[in-house]
A and B are shown apart, each in its own frame.
Chain A
C-alpha cells in the first residue's frame, strides 16, 4: 500500500462549479498535512496546511479525518486558473520529512 494515495484524475470541472477530492495516508502517526499545488513543469507551491479542526482559505477548504486517515480538499467557484495538479503531503514525524502523493489533476473548463 502506498503511504499517500490520491486519485490521479483528471477531474474535469466546469468553471464556477465545486470540486472535491480526497487523499488517504497509511501512517497513523503522521503529524502534519498539507496540500501543495503544482502547475505543469513548475515547482510545487504550498496551497494550505491542514489542521485537525479543518480550515478554509478563500474558496479552498481542507478537512482532516484522523480516524479514517484521509484529507480532503474542496474548491468552490472554480476558476480557470485553478487548473493544476494538487499534491497531498504528509509529514510522518518531526524533522519535516515530507511524503508526497502522486497528485490529483484538476482541469477547469469554460
Chain B
C-alpha cells in the first residue's frame, strides 16, 4: 500500500545463523533507511543510503551489514546476532536528502526473533 515492501515479515533465527532482510521501494525515491524498533523504545535510525551510497551508520554493531545495490533495493545482512537484537526492523524511503521536509515512507517491517 505504501509502495515499500519488506520480506520476510517474520523471522526466527538462532544466534549462529546468517539471514538477510530485504526491502524494495516502488516510489522512485533516492534515499533508503533502516530503523530498529525494540519493545518500549523509540525507533532508532541504523543506516542511511542516498543514491546507493551509505551516508549514515549510527554506530551499529558489525553483525548488521547493510547493502544497497541500487536506489530501489536495500538489504540488511544478519550474522551471529544476540537475543537483544530481537525487534521490528523497518525500512523507509524518501525522495532524497535535499529537503528536511521530505516525507519518509515506511515498509511494514520484519519482526525478528533471535533465540
- The answer to whether A96 and B107 touch (CB under 8 A), given A32-B101, A43-B90, is no
* A32-B100, A32-B101, A43-B109 known; A95-B43 Cβ under 8 A: no
Contact with A along B34-56 (1 / 0, CB 8 A): 00000011111100100000011
B102 CB contacts on chain A under 8 angstroms:
96
Interface residues of B (CB under 8 A from A): 2, 31, 33, 40-45, 48, 55-56, 90, 94, 96-109
Find out whether the CB atom of A102 lies under 8 angstroms from the CB atom of B42: yes
Query: Pick the contact of A87 from B33, B43, B45, B107 — CB < 8 Å?
Result: B43
Contact B48 A97 (CB under 8 A): yes
Q: Which residues of A contact B33 (CB under 8 A)?
A: 96
Closest Cβ of chain A: how far from B31's Cβ, in Å?
Answer: 6
Partner of B42, one of A31, A43, A101: A101
Instruction: Give chain B's interface secondary structure class.
Output: loop
B42 touches A91 (CB 8 A): no
Known: A95-B97, A96-B33, A96-B97. 16 other contacts (CB 8 A): A32-B101, A43-B108, A44-B43, A44-B90, A44-B106, A94-B97, A94-B98, A94-B100, A95-B48, A96-B99, A98-B45, A99-B45, A100-B42, A100-B43, A102-B40, A102-B42
Give the shortest distance, in Å, between A95 (CB) and chain B (any CB).
Answer: 5
Taking the closest CB of chain B, its distance from the CB of A46, in whole angstroms, is 5
Residue of B nearest to A3 (CB): B42
Q: How far is the CA of A50 from the CA of B42 in the complex (A)?
A: 20
Min CB–CB distance A101 → chain B (angstroms): 6
> Could you mark each residue 24-49 of chain A with 1 if its beta carbon is under 8 Å from any beta carbon of chain B, else 0?
00000001100000000011111001
Q: Give me 20 A-to-B residue pairs in the complex whose CB atoms sit less than 8 angstroms apart, sorted by A's number.
A: A4-B42, A32-B100, A44-B90, A45-B106, A49-B101, A87-B42, A87-B43, A93-B100, A96-B31, A96-B97, A96-B102, A97-B45, A97-B48, A97-B56, A98-B104, A99-B42, A99-B45, A100-B42, A102-B40, A103-B42
